[in-house]
Structure 1
């Protein structure tokens, strides 16, 4: 059995709509979460340009799956359910 833990890929929409509707704040929450749980080497955090899903935003893509309407309440649940469970 391998001790290698999978790296999660977390991409945040940096388009003006998603950014102004909450992803600016979500980035801070995600960074704090990564630091608090010692996940620095386990989460690849990056931004991407608008993908045309503005009406459903703020949007975050985690391991290829797009999550819509992510706010400060739902971001922690998303991280717990999709990153911490991989440990």
Structure 2
């Protein structure tokens, strides 16, 4: 199972971490990946000044709510389909 960890600490919370989580949940459901991807909350992944920190396959990404769906489609789905 693949894991998406999204920072829910204070800085990322203010940048929209819960919106990012909701968009990821929607993408997972739309792509029938409920048994393939798990979303976990995390605290401080170290990129507080940029955007919402998302860890996926040991890499940290900065995601804002307006790019969450694109990130999921390009980065997450791209690795699942390989």
Task: Output the TM-score relative to the length of structure 2.
Answer: 0.85
What residue ranges of structure 2 are gaps of 5+ in the alignment?
none
Structural RMSD (CA): 1.4
Q: SS of 1:54's equivalent?
A: coil
What residue ranges of structure 1 are gaps of 5+ in the alignment?
1-6
Deviations 1:48-74 (A, max 9, x none): 111332112211111111001x12232
Query: In terms of mean alpha carbon deviation, does 8-17 or 72-81 score higher?
Result: 72-81
Count residues in correspondence. Answer: 80
Contact 2:28 2:37 in 1 (8 A): yes
Task: Output the TM-score relative to the length of structure 1.
Answer: 0.81
